[in-house]
Amino acid sequence: METFQSLLAKKLSDALKAADLPDAGELTPASDPRFGDYQINAALVLGKQRGENPRVLAEKIVAHFDAGDLCEPPGVAGPGFINFALRPGAVGEKTMEVLRDERLGVTETESPRRIVIDFGSPNAAKPMHVGHIRSTLLGDALARIAQFLGHEVIRDNHIGDWGTQFGMVIWGWKNLLDRQALQRNPLAEIVRIYKETNHRASNEPGVREACRQELIKLQAGDKENLDIWNECVAFSMQDFERTYKVLDIHYDIQCGESFYHDRLPGVVERLLKGGIAEISEGAVVVFFRDVPELADKPLIIRKRDGGFNYATTDIATIDYRVNDLKADAIWYVVGAPQTLHFKQIFEIGRREGYRADLCHIVFGNVLGEDRKLMKTRSGENVPLRELLEEACRRARKIIDEKNPDLGEDEKNDIAATIGIGAVKYADLLQYRTTDYIFSWDKMLSLHGNTAPYLQNAYVRIRSIFRKAGNPPLKIGRLIFADAAEINLAKRLCQFAEIVPQVLNGFRPNILANYLFELANSFHTFYEACPVLKSEEPARSSRLALCDLTARVLQRGLDLLGIKVPERM
Ligand code: ARG
């Protein structure tokens, strides 16, 4: 379906052609609604390029512009902006089109790609903590949006299940394990022995060496160590699954680091043969002498003792994703500290001749109210599950106050929807690369740019329909008697323009902010325009606007991984 933006862009392109000018500038929503709905800076850009007066150029473009029924004859403002104000008739028709469309106007891409999204990717034998939130939520939202836009998405959990931590876990398992504690809470016990071993290894060289030996035995396929490893990974996976269930996160594949273990010798050999890697002081190393920023940052892919590392695994991983999974693109949603790692890996991929589009999608940190990295009182990382439980507890309090008569089960369900939604939204609302401060009060507020506010707008609409007895929608045509009605309709039509933009720069915050604006437009409308008490045909027209608002809110939140309750 064409959007207003695409329709205007076409007309503009025609006008520029007719005026003997090249395409230029960017068509954007108007910065000030008093000047119209959209604006373009084409004349300013062309003026600069050609050393001509932009206002004169703007007048020339406008003179060739055929507005048709779409908008009023465009005006020129300021130094040469061209403004477009949509005609109410065009808004009414487009809104009807969107109403009838299950996809709410969002067109599927014309160039679908197969995209592997590597997100979440926690480490086995360690609990997931608040630091994993951003990768998990961001990756999930991008996956949902890419899929909705018609891409083929493969969600991959690249679990750290083969790292050096297992040398310690195995030594701890053999020397410190409390079997009863393991039965009660397996992951907690594994984490305990890991931490204690880690502590001892840093003070006792003997323990450090013993851990190293356990790791070597594991990697050489020692049966006892493999069994312990298997058991630890299984316990970790169960623990992750519980959290994914709460968060409604799903993976298509979970090829952890161990999946690539057998391929590592082949990777090193191939890179040596291809002249991409060389032997240096007994290790196999890739140098990036011709890449200025990496020139003094060689990468070891086989250590002197024959061991492989995280980087070797990632080279094998690209190979698998490109050659076996046939990925056109791989998106790595991983924190900024791994920037150098991915630059090196991508450069190797380039040298190997992979044509897939490789992106490292970084993000900022989650901070506590003290603006430092979020930690528990004892200075540890905040375990993710505890945080999510706290979110539900706090949301439950809100429901107890707001709607005390609901049944116990329903209250708990709604609390989960609101609590988890609040955590997700607070994260996705942020500009991806900035740090943000985690604040319960802010994220759970019913008034402000929060999930509960948006969910409440949805609930309000559902209650209008319940009150009306859920009548089938009668939508002949929309009536715009009040400015709030046409403003809401225009907002609704923008959904189709916003969703594809999220993937330019991977910014779910654009969608979050749009939904907030939509809820605001709805509240303005709701205050100005009675719905159920109004006469026909206004009543049906307003009900249609309500219905569409609810559907856009629901779909938009769903694309962010957030559910809506029917009441709250
Ligand atoms: N397990 C790693 C960590 O916690 C993240 C893995 C990211 N993905 C990758 N292909 N390296 O830091």
Ligand 1 mutation target, pool 121, 135, 254, most atoms within 8 A of CB: 121
What pLDDT is recorded for position 426?
Answer: 96
- 122 CA from centroid of ligand 1 (Å): 7
Residue 192 has pLDDT above 80, yes or no: yes
CB 156 less than 6 A from any atom of ligand 1 = no
What pLDDT is recorded for position 556?
Answer: 98
pLDDT tens-digit series, residues 384-395: 888 999 999 999
What pLDDT is recorded for position 130?
Answer: 77
CB 257 less than 6 A from any atom of ligand 1 = no
Residue 475 has pLDDT above 80, yes or no: no
What pLDDT is recorded for position 132?
Answer: 85
pLDDT tens-digit series, residues 339-381: 999 999 999 999 999 999 999 999 999 998 888 888 877 777 7
In this structure, what are the phi and psi dihedrals at residue 52, rounded to the nearest 5 degrees?
-115, 165
pLDDT tens-digit series, residues 54-74: 999 999 999 999 999 999 999
What integer best gives the mean pLDDT of the chain? 95
CB 158 less than 6 A from any atom of ligand 1 = yes
The C-alpha R_g of the chain, in whole angstroms, comes to 28
Ligand 1 mutation target, pool 334, 358, 361, most atoms within 8 A of CB: 334
Q: Hey, what amino acid is at 48?
A: K
Is residue 437 within 8 A of residue 372, CB to CB? The reply is no
In this structure, what are the phi and psi dihedrals at residue 40, rounded to the nearest 5 degrees?
-135, 145
Cα 348 to Cα 503: distance, rounded to the nearest angstrom: 25
CB 123 less than 6 A from any atom of ligand 1 = yes
CB 317 less than 6 A from any atom of ligand 1 = yes
What pLDDT is recorded for position 541?
Answer: 96
Burial of 413 (0-12, 13-18, 19+ CB in 10 A): middle
Whole-prediction pTM: 0.95
- 267 CA from centroid of ligand 1 (Å): 19
Spatial neighbors of 454 by CB under 8 A, at least 6 apart, are 425, 515, 516, 519, 553, 557
pLDDT tens-digit series, residues 66-114: 999 999 999 999 899 999 999 999 999 999 999 999 999 999 999 999 9
**pLDDT confidence band for 134 (50 / 70 / 90):** very high
Q: What is the DSSP string of 134-162?
A: HHHHHHHHHHHHHHHTT-EEEEE---B-S
Is residue 470 within 8 A of residue 176, CB to CB? The reply is no
- 159 CA from centroid of ligand 1 (Å): 7
Cα 392 to Cα 385: distance, rounded to the nearest angstrom: 11
Q: Strands across the sheet with 329-333, in order?
A: 152-156, 114-118, 329-333, 357-361
What pLDDT is recorded for position 164?
Answer: 81
What pLDDT is recorded for position 273?
Answer: 97
What is the four-CA torsion angle of 4, 9, 14, 20, rounded to 10 degrees?
150
Strands 114-118 and 81-84: what pairing?
A: unpaired
Is residue 542 within 8 A of residue 410, CB to CB? The reply is no
**393 by DSSP, 3-state: which?**
helix
Q: Which atom of ligand 1 lies nearest, measured to the CA of 332?
A: 8
What pLDDT is recorded for position 477?
Answer: 87
pLDDT tens-digit series, residues 225-239: 999 999 999 999 999
Is residue 301 within 8 A of residue 271, CB to CB? The reply is yes
Catalogue all structural domains in the chain, each as residue range(s) with its CATH number: 4-86 (3.30.1360.70), 165-247 (no CATH)
Is residue 333 within 8 A of residue 115, CB to CB? The reply is no
**pLDDT confidence band for 165 (50 / 70 / 90):** confident
Cα 488 to Cα 549: distance, rounded to the nearest angstrom: 8
